[in-house]
Structure 1
Amino acid sequence: MDTTPFPSIEKQLKSIQQLIQTTKFNDAIKQSKQLLKKVSEQQHQIELWYLLAVAQRYAKDYANALSSINELLKLDPSHSRANQESGYINLALQNLKQSKISFEKAVALNPILVASWQELIELYRQKKQMADVQKCANQLAKLKKLPPALLAVTELLHEGKLLKAEQICRHFLQNNKRHVDGMCLLAEIGIELKIYDDAEFLLASALELSPNHVHARSLYLNLLIRLGKYKAAEVQVDILLVEQPNNLSFKVAKANVLTGLGEIDQAITLFEQAIAKDSQIAGFHLQLGHALKTKGDIAQAVAAYQKAYQISPSFGDAFWSLANTKTYRFSDAEIAKMQVQQADKDLALVDKVQLHFATGKAFEDRQEYHQAFQAYQQGNALQHAHNGFDINKIEQQITEQISYCTRELFENRGHLGLNSPDPIFIVGLPRAGSTLLEQILASHSQVDGTMELHNILGLAARLRGNSNNQSNDKSNKAGQYPKNLNEINPDYFKRFGQQFIDDTQVYREQAPLFIDKMPNNFLHIGLIRLILPNAKIIDARRSPMACCFSGFKQLFAEGQDFSYNLEDIGHYYQAYLKLMSHWDDVLPGYVLTVNHEDVVDDLETQVRRILDFCGLEFEQSCLDFHKTKRNIKTPSSEQVRQPIYKSATEQWRHFEQYLAPLKKCVNID
């Protein structure tokens, strides 16, 4: 009996690599083919097809090399080095057009592929595309300045291997503490991992070290916009525009900042100026559409979104933005275009997801519910696989809030915050009717509507910290949030409350009260109570099936990762109810629950109840909320510009046969 251990796949792959390195190409080809017949795991198949194609190219068997690399690309079209290899093979076959396409795709997927940039320089030079030659040369010069460790980090970042990239980058920075490019890379990794507080600290520190580092400032600007810190973003974009006044991307960033600050007319003017300079950038038209939609000019917004997809037929965001107006109806031709684009195997994931959600909305509007659900399901499945959401982490957060935010905490520390009555927080789950409640309250003369503000979430993130936090924030020294609410210096509570009032001032007008409608703040009601004890909190609640399925149909910009799986969204709803019950127990009377169905059934009674809770006199304008002219940035913007309608409360029943997993999670028979 032969007891010789069979070599592992990894050892056999390494053996094939060594054969190629020692120019034993035929042996490498033979071993690769033999191993391909035995392996079933896709990642191993990908590695073998790659090695086989490389060996065949070196053996000058170009036709088979091309066949092998195409097999790999069927398995993984976004494999950057496979696209580079396709470029080499097509170059050897004198297929110069396809070679250029392959090299271009390779560097789009992974911009550190030096060899691809070098080949592109020659291909562009042959076509006398001298502007493209210069771009390639600039990129090569930039890459040659990077230390090898940071080149490896950049490649890992673009391959999505974030934790490995972070590990190498942190090790590099331990020995090169003031390396600004390294700090920028670590910040980019932090942004991808959604560790925004660390990324913000790193980029601010990088700019202290190198105030003229345009890339660092551009990253910082984009992060501030993502976090909704528009006033701070305005400072950064103005510095960049002084440095590069004709940079269209910076002008568009300024327009986005102005949109965030509520300066919509100025933003629209800037978007239009950018489009006048270059009308063929689909993204400019898209962002103009967003500003027009926020203003309430829906017809012009639709025209801008349509222009965006006319320029770029695979631009999923343009189609989804049309669907997300909630009032647009797609034509047969548009549905056909979306389906053609979805079938493109090279289509980027984000575009594919957006197209599925838009197609779902198109079919739902036509009452073709089976096709609609299939499209929603496909979009959700792709997004869920991509974001890696773990419901256990949310349930753990809620367990910690219940464990540490006790009656005793509020009895001992509930008097330490800022006694400002200004904020009204509307919390709950997204798609629960919070925009309607905001519109009702913002129609009152004493209340300013703002937007979903990130300030409380940002404070919670700072208090939570993480194992890699490089910040010296002393408020976090006592332990991680929410445990440290019992332990941190009592002076911090008033300071945090004042910081919230100061930082949100930019979103307000002249009214004494204002609204923050970030739904996720329900997780942090204890924190709000400690820093702003006189704030008002309204829980916008909707029946579970209507709320959860409405969330399942919605592709969110960011921050609602639980909504892309029926079981996850059902468990999340149950966890939310559990935490809200806890707040009612330890903070009786602090939160007003408003059921969406009650608002729909008896608007005036609920409006008077809400106004009484907020200490406001009744005003007829709150009943006539749909007549109020204001900027609205949420998906429900067009719906709340219309009178109350009841049809939406039961829309989920059209899909009931598909919703058994959700029903089970929310205990609906």
Structure 2
Amino acid sequence: MQHPTQSVKIKQAIQTSDFEQAIVLADKGISQSDNGAIEFLYLKAVAQRLSKRNQQAIHTLDQLIERKPDYGRAFQEQGYCFKTLGQSEKAASGFYKATRFNPALLASWQQIQQHYQSTGNTIALAIASEQIAFLQKLQRPVLGAMDLMYEGQLHKAEQVCRQFLLKNKHDCEAMMLLAEIGIKLKVYHDAEFLLESCVELYPQEPRAAHAYQSLLLKLGKYAQALSFIESRAPEDMHDRKLKLAHASALSGVGKLEQATSIYLKVLNENDDQPQVWLSLGHVYKSAGQLDKAIEAYKKAAHYQPDFGDAYWSLANTKTYTFDDTAIAKMNAAVKSVSASLDDRIHLYFALGKAYEDGNNIASAFACYKKGNTLKSKTLDFDIKRVEGAMENQKAACTTALFSRATGCPAPDPIFIVGLPRAGSTLLEQILASHSQIDGTMELHDILGIASRVSGQKLSYPHNLSELSDEQCCQLGELYIQQTKAYRQGAPFFIDKMPNNFIHIGLIKRILPHAKIIDARRDPFACCFSGYKQLFADGQEFTYSLDSIGRYYNSYLSLMDHWHNVLPGQILTVQHEDVLDDLPGQVKRMLDYLDLPFESACLAYHETKRAIKTPSSEQVRQPIFQRGRHQYKPFIPYLDPLFEALGKAPETP
């Protein structure tokens, strides 16, 4: 593990211009580090540049960027090196990339401001000048905390921000920044409270309002977001950002026609808006209008040829097939020096799907691997932490915890849990075809309540035993109240957030009569399907074959625990059994839910409803078997997965 005094010694050597000593100490730190040596590589590059060894510094920075491709300060250093070498375009590119990954780097903004002045790029110059003015107005500790946040040092950033707020209570910028840090740390309840307070204290600050409504949308609190947006002054509704947020909220609550209307009006003002075309495509896809969705995604790619998300959205329909021309365009875009890291990640996943459809398995896996590797380097994910969290659930949630039924007595919720890509969307579509069940979406409310409970003196989940009957009842009622906006009036409704399997203990404490269905799939098919899926948010364990295999095993172990402490209260439904015997599994699920059989559940693909998951088009078709063994051609590449799972597929 990196020793904190080592970096201090290197910085001291740099400050006293003892660059040789700094480089020696940095090399020692790199050799001893077990966490990527990011800071040591950065300090080594700084020492090399300051000692006029720019080419060596560039080589060190290449190593650093290979390990952490979103490290803003590395690109800033790159910019300085190229500037010294007289390579102005490469320097400008370095400074520009630095601002993309770390918008708090004032020096990089000032450098590209000079570049835009010399090249006459007035639009880019105005953007840079505006950001410079904003950063220069910030109090120094706030700017420092912002810089730390963008470089991934979230806990340090939080500490600096909180210390500043102790002396400058209710400072708007510091409150918004602390909320942003909270979002990155996934402490959503605290972030929401901060932004809500900010809006109340500074009603004329549009950035606070925008941040608040953006968080509500991120958390899936679409009804609350819609109410907040529509409460804004009428003159504000002419603002483009607010219009788009309004459309997103409307889409979230199922008002797809109204959302579509807003997007089309915005595009009517200016066709060249790739992000809006993308959002419109998502609405069309949710509504089952696949042809329109595909055309919208193509428009997005037309206006921005390296727009990775547009190509990935086409791939993510699961039914679209790329032609040779599109594959050539994607290959050109992913190799372009101007392509952003995010675009490259999306393009690699889209290319993987394109090559897989063409049965070019070697190229498909190479692209999936590149996409996953790049994505994983942008994440602070440690599978050991997740495994520990699941072990904590087992330790805290014993049989004694559920010895009596506490909480809200409402029987309304049906939770479908499991791993992503395990067939949960199919189960939801089947059950939502029943007249007494509303389908909703992947609701964030249980995760939000878990975050709220985490703030207690005893850490979650160990504090579940400390919750009083009244508290359990209040939390259950809060869940029922928050989810009303997503229901259409049926007595029961589905919450299809897969990750809720971790929180079954919390669910059963606050909603003892809730039903829970565990959607389970063959481990090889499930894990590989997750590996080749680029998720919009979360599911960070899927970007490594080793991590996804270990996660699957931890999931199985935790589900075994829930079955032991909650006997008979959870129904496991195997995806392959649904494919083989749809009527039998439908009857089994409805019997578990104490509901009468309805034939509409067998004709689930005819049910018209908004579906927001990647499987939306697949569940609008009758049962098919072609996805069952999609992993088999990739078996030669999946050894890390098999090792993590502790087993491999049987060979014929």
Query: Structure 2 CA distance, aligned partners of 1:580 and 1:94?
Result: 61
What is the CA distance between 1:295 and its match in structure 2? 0.6
Does residue 1:158 correspond to 2:150, yes or no?
Answer: yes
Query: Structure 2 CA distance, aligned partners of 1:208 and 1:141?
Result: 26
Mark the CA change 1:88 to 1:16 in structure 2 (over 3 Å): closer, same or farther: closer
Query: Is the contact made by 1:353 and 1:379 (CA closer than 8 Å) also made in structure 2?
Result: yes
What is the CA distance between 1:131 and its match in structure 2? 5.4
* Equivalent position amino acid for 1:317 in 2: D
Does residue 1:396 correspond to 2:388, yes or no?
Answer: yes
Q: Secondary structure at the match of 2:572?
A: strand
Does residue 1:436 correspond to 2:426, yes or no?
Answer: yes
What is the CA distance between 1:289 and its match in structure 2? 0.8
Query: Is the contact made by 1:50 and 1:68 (CA closer than 8 Å) also made in structure 2?
Result: no
What is the CA distance between 1:294 and its match in structure 2? 0.5
| From 497, 500, 503, the counterpart of 1:521 | 500
Does residue 1:427 correspond to 2:406, yes or no?
Answer: no
Query: Structure 1 CA distance, aligned partners of 2:559 and 2:95?
Result: 54
Does residue 1:349 correspond to 2:341, yes or no?
Answer: yes
| From 369, 394, 407, the counterpart of 1:417 | 407
Mark the CA change 1:245 to 1:55 in structure 2 (over 3 Å): closer, same or farther: farther
Does residue 1:185 correspond to 2:177, yes or no?
Answer: yes
The equivalent residue for 2:462 is 483
Query: Structure 2 CA distance, aligned partners of 1:648 and 1:579?
Result: 27
| From 144, 161, 164, the counterpart of 1:169 | 161
User: How much is the aligned-residue C-alpha RMSD, in angstroms?
Assistant: 3.1
Query: Is the contact made by 2:6 and 2:29 (CA closer than 8 Å) also made in structure 1?
Result: no
Query: Is the contact made by 2:439 and 2:494 (CA closer than 8 Å) also made in structure 1?
Result: yes
What is the CA distance between 1:98 and its match in structure 2? 6.6
Does residue 1:628 correspond to 2:607, yes or no?
Answer: yes
| From 535, 542, 546, the counterpart of 2:514 | 535
Q: Secondary structure at the match of 1:537?
A: strand
Mark the CA change 1:241 to 1:81 in structure 2 (over 3 Å): closer, same or farther: farther
Query: Structure 2 CA distance, aligned partners of 1:666 and 1:15?
Result: 47
The equivalent residue for 2:34 is none
| Higher CA-based Rg | 1
The equivalent residue for 2:631 is 652
Mark the CA change 1:32 to 1:337 in structure 2 (over 3 Å): closer, same or farther: farther
| From 210, 223, 229, the counterpart of 1:218 | 210
Mark the CA change 1:104 to 1:240 in structure 2 (over 3 Å): closer, same or farther: farther
**1:643-662 residue CA offsets vs partner (Å, 9 max, x unmatched):** 10112112221212222332
Query: Is the contact made by 2:6 and 2:25 (CA closer than 8 Å) also made in structure 1?
Result: no
Q: Secondary structure at the match of 1:314?
A: coil
Query: Is the contact made by 1:87 and 1:98 (CA closer than 8 Å) also made in structure 2?
Result: yes
- Aligned pairs for 1:228-247 within 5 A: 228-239=220-231, 242=234, 244-247=236-239
What is the CA distance between 1:400 and its match in structure 2? 2.4
The equivalent residue for 2:378 is 386
Query: Structure 2 CA distance, aligned partners of 1:32 and 1:578?
Result: 48
Query: Structure 2 CA distance, aligned partners of 1:590 and 1:315?
Result: 46
**1:178-212 residue CA offsets vs partner (Å, 9 max, x unmatched):** 21211111111122222222222221222232222
What is the CA distance between 1:168 and its match in structure 2? 1.6
- Aligned pairs for 1:69-88 within 5 A: 71=59, 74-75=62-63, 76=65, 80=72
**1:69-120 residue CA offsets vs partner (Å, 9 max, x unmatched):** 7556644486656766776788899987777655544443443444554565
Does residue 1:456 correspond to 2:435, yes or no?
Answer: no
Q: Secondary structure at the match of 2:263?
A: helix
Q: Which TM-score applies when normalising by structure 2?
A: 0.89
| From 121, 133, 158, the counterpart of 1:141 | 133
- Aligned pairs for 1:317-356 within 5 A: 317-344=309-336, 347-356=339-348
Mark the CA change 1:215 to 1:653 in structure 2 (over 3 Å): closer, same or farther: same
What is the CA distance between 1:454 and its match in structure 2? 0.8
Q: How many residues align?
A: 634
Query: Structure 1 CA distance, aligned partners of 2:388 and 2:26?
Result: 44
Moved more, 658-667 or 502-511: 658-667
Query: Structure 1 CA distance, aligned partners of 2:229 and 2:79?
Result: 38
Moved more, 397-406 or 624-633: 397-406
**1:449-492 residue CA offsets vs partner (Å, 9 max, x unmatched):** 10011111111121123xxxxxxxxxx35x22222222222101
Q: Which TM-score applies when normalising by structure 1?
A: 0.87
| From 546, 554, 558, the counterpart of 1:575 | 554
Does residue 1:445 correspond to 2:432, yes or no?
Answer: no
Q: Secondary structure at the match of 1:538?
A: strand
Query: Structure 1 CA distance, aligned partners of 2:254 and 2:108?
Result: 44
**1:401-460 residue CA offsets vs partner (Å, 9 max, x unmatched):** 222322222123x1x222222111111111111111111111111111100111111111
Query: Structure 1 CA distance, aligned partners of 2:7 and 2:153?
Result: 21
Query: Structure 2 CA distance, aligned partners of 1:562 and 1:89?
Result: 36
**1:348-385 residue CA offsets vs partner (Å, 9 max, x unmatched):** 33222222211111111111222212222222222223
What is the CA distance between 1:224 and its match in structure 2? 1.2
Q: Secondary structure at the match of 2:448?
A: helix
Query: Structure 1 CA distance, aligned partners of 2:297 and 2:30?
Result: 44
Query: Structure 2 CA distance, aligned partners of 1:584 and 1:8?
Result: 49
What is the CA distance between 1:665 and its match in structure 2? 3.3
What is the CA distance between 1:562 and its match in structure 2? 1.5
Query: Structure 2 CA distance, aligned partners of 1:522 and 1:147?
Result: 43
Q: Secondary structure at the match of 2:416?
A: strand
| From 170, 188, 201, the counterpart of 1:209 | 201
Query: Structure 2 CA distance, aligned partners of 1:34 and 1:433?
Result: 54
Query: Structure 2 CA distance, aligned partners of 1:522 and 1:264?
Result: 30
What is the CA distance between 1:508 and its match in structure 2? 0.7
Mark the CA change 1:166 to 1:595 in structure 2 (over 3 Å): closer, same or farther: same
Mark the CA change 1:603 to 1:119 in structure 2 (over 3 Å): closer, same or farther: closer
| From 254, 268, 278, the counterpart of 2:270 | 278
Query: Is the contact made by 1:457 and 1:521 (CA closer than 8 Å) also made in structure 2?
Result: yes
Query: Structure 2 CA distance, aligned partners of 1:9 and 1:574?
Result: 38
Mark the CA change 1:447 to 1:130 in structure 2 (over 3 Å): closer, same or farther: same
* Equivalent position amino acid for 2:471 in 1: Y
* Equivalent position amino acid for 1:365 in 2: D
Q: Secondary structure at the match of 2:631?
A: helix
Query: Structure 1 CA distance, aligned partners of 2:579 and 2:585?
Result: 9
Mark the CA change 1:655 to 1:139 in structure 2 (over 3 Å): closer, same or farther: closer
> Structure 2: 5+ residue runs without aligned partners?
32-36
Mark the CA change 1:656 to 1:98 in structure 2 (over 3 Å): closer, same or farther: closer
Mark the CA change 1:70 to 1:394 in structure 2 (over 3 Å): closer, same or farther: closer
Mark the CA change 1:617 to 1:237 in structure 2 (over 3 Å): closer, same or farther: same
Query: Structure 2 CA distance, aligned partners of 1:211 and 1:646?
Result: 55
Query: Is the contact made by 1:50 and 1:72 (CA closer than 8 Å) also made in structure 2?
Result: no
What is the CA distance between 1:601 and its match in structure 2? 0.7
The percentage of aligned residue pairs carrying the same residue is 46
Query: Structure 2 CA distance, aligned partners of 1:617 and 1:14?
Result: 74
What is the CA distance between 1:667 and its match in structure 2? 3.8
Q: Secondary structure at the match of 2:378?
A: helix
Mark the CA change 1:155 to 1:243 in structure 2 (over 3 Å): closer, same or farther: farther
* Equivalent position amino acid for 1:364 in 2: E
What is the CA distance between 1:46 and its match in structure 2? 4.7
What is the CA distance between 1:638 and its match in structure 2? 0.5
- Aligned pairs for 1:531-570 within 5 A: 531-570=510-549
Query: Is the contact made by 2:42 and 2:74 (CA closer than 8 Å) also made in structure 1?
Result: no
* Equivalent position amino acid for 2:417 in 1: V
Query: Is the contact made by 2:44 and 2:57 (CA closer than 8 Å) also made in structure 1?
Result: no
Q: Secondary structure at the match of 1:492?
A: helix
Mark the CA change 1:409 to 1:107 in structure 2 (over 3 Å): closer, same or farther: closer
Query: Structure 2 CA distance, aligned partners of 1:554 and 1:185?
Result: 31
